[in-house]
């Protein structure tokens, strides 16, 4: 834990999302704005719509579940890295709960919209994390860190 804390730059980026804002795009634009090479983030709040994926290893593609209602964000977390060409990659997962407390979750896709609020905390890291295409999965996986 102390080693992890030592990797944190110290400048936590806090962004409060407004109703209807796209969560994935908000994380990505914050990363671009602050020129982030590597970071971890978390978010709580609510969604009014969610597009959540499950990666099918046989088909090598995401199956998507779409929820079009107000739900709580129990947890949204992930990391920010770069591809070899320098472009930013946001990898986020989300767990959302309905009025009965039933939780659904998976890989966060664009199109997931903030509900009442979204409290995003990004912790930039001193490291550089690089993602490269993985032949086996066709996904951009973490291949390098400095």
Residues that bind Zn ion in the complex, under the rule CB under 5 A: 107
Closest CB to Zn ion among 89 and 97? 89
To the nearest whole angstrom, how small is the minimum distance from the Cβ of residue 6 to Zn ion? 27
To the nearest whole angstrom, how small is the minimum distance from the Cβ of residue 19 to Zn ion? 25
To the nearest whole angstrom, how small is the minimum distance from the Cβ of residue 62 to Zn ion? 8
Closest CB to Zn ion among 78 and 118? 78
Q: In the complex, which residue's CB is closest to Zn ion?
A: 107
Which residues have CB under 8 Å from 66's CB, separation 6+?
49, 50, 51, 52, 111
Closest CB to Zn ion among 33 and 61? 61
Per-residue b or e along 48-87, where b marks 16 or more CB atoms closer than 10 Å to that residue's CB: bbbbbbeeeeeeeebeeeebeeebbbeebbbbbbbeeeee
């Amino acid at each position: 834990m102390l080693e992890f804390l030592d990797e944190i730059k110290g400048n936590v980026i806090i962004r409060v999302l407004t109703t209807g804002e796209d969560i994935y795009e908000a994380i990505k634009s914050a990363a671009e704005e602050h020129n982030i090479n590597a970071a971890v983030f978390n978010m709580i709040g609510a969604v009014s719509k969610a597009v959540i994926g499950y990666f099918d290893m046989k088909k090598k593609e995401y199956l998507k579940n779409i929820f079009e209602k107000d739900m709580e964000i129990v947890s949204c977390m992930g990391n920010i890295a770069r591809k070899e060409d320098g472009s930013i990659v946001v990898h986020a997962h989300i767990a959302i709960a309905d009025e009965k407390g039933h939780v659904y979750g998976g890989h966060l896709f664009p199109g997931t919209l903030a509900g009442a609020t979204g409290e995003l905390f990004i912790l930039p890291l001193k490291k550089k994390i690089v993602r490269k295409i993985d032949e086996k999965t066709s996904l951009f996986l973490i291949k390098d860190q400095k």
